[in-house]
Amino acid sequence: MNYEDPELINRLSAEYVLGTLQGRARQRFQRLMLSSPRVRQATWQWERQLNQMGNSLTAVTPDSRVWENISQGIEPVQSGASEPVRAEAVKLLPALARLWQGVAVTAVAASLVLLVFLLQPSVPVESEQVALVQNQQQQVLWLIDVKQEQLYIKASAMLTAYSDKDYELWMILKGQDNPVSLGLLPKTGSRILVKKPEFSADDISLLAVSLEPLGGSPTGAPTQVLYTTPLISL
């Protein structure tokens, strides 16, 4: 397959962003994004176009009954949500409405998981960007909340971690071939990583997660890329 063909790159980029590129083909494309600036640029253009389409939609604030239905269906942590937490949910509705506009890029199920993440009492809600790292089955494995000076990362219960391996988070900057390590991801619970000076949503093509030996990459580059994900601005 000729990955230098612009028409092929454009088609694969569109399928990747829409989520229709699956299995080994998606894994090959993720590896290709790390090595090819042309592929990253095409993928970023498709993400931007679809986000613009989503942003053109008129935001609709969900009815208060929506939160009631969601809270009743979350077990066990959120089932007994206190009134202050419910109040925070009401405050978050406008931001969630903006997230619904980006549904062409982020699945509905992922947005609901993000709602649960934002409503955790220990998680600050003044987010600048968020990212959802998903597997091939569209299950969320990590939730990344980008703050002004730090990244708050929470591991999902869907994650099955290796005891003899670590997961490392990378950012791929536009116009730069070498990924930049942001630190190790938690296997359970949460972890806070300090944002690097070069971390800027406008300059990041995508985030990537690699599987590494314990302690992180021994070479300064990703060993085995597992997942990639874009940043979503709130």
- Percentage of the chain lying above the pLDDT 90 cut: 23
Return the structure tokens found at 188: 């359970």
Where is average pLDDT lowest: 47-51, 135-139, 179-183, 192-196? 47-51
Q: How far apart are CA 198 and CA 121, in angstroms?
A: 30
Are 127 and 145 in contact by the 8 Å Cβ rule? The answer is yes
Q: Please report the pLDDT score of residue 52 as a whole number.
A: 64
Task: With a cut of 80, say whether residue 75 has pLDDT above it.
Answer: no
The closest of 41, 37, 38, 47 to 15, measured between CA atoms, is 47
| pLDDT for residue 193 | 95
41 contacts: CB under 8 Å, gap ≥ 6 = 174, 205
Residue given tokens 């987010």 in the structure block: 127
d(CA 173, CA 187): 25
CA atoms within 13 A on the CB side of 147: 13
The predicted pLDDT at position 56 comes to 62
Report residue 77's pLDDT band, with 50, 70 and 90 as the boundaries.
very low
The answer to whether 14 touches 21, Cβ cutoff 8 Å, is: no
Model confidence, pTM: 0.56
Q: What count of other Cβ atoms lies within 10 Å of the Cβ of residue 192?
A: 13
Q: How far apart are CA 20 and CA 210, in angstroms?
A: 22
Model confidence pLDDT, tens digit, residues 16-63? 877 788 777 887 887 787 777 788 778 777 877 766 665 666 666 667
Q: What are the pLDDT digits (tens) for 196-206?
A: 888 887 888 88
**Long-range Cβ contacts of 121-129 (<8 Å, 24+ apart):** 121/85, 122/190, 123/152, 123/154, 124/152, 125/88, 125/91, 125/92, 127/234, 128/201, 128/233, 128/234, 129/201, 129/231, 129/232, 129/233, 129/234
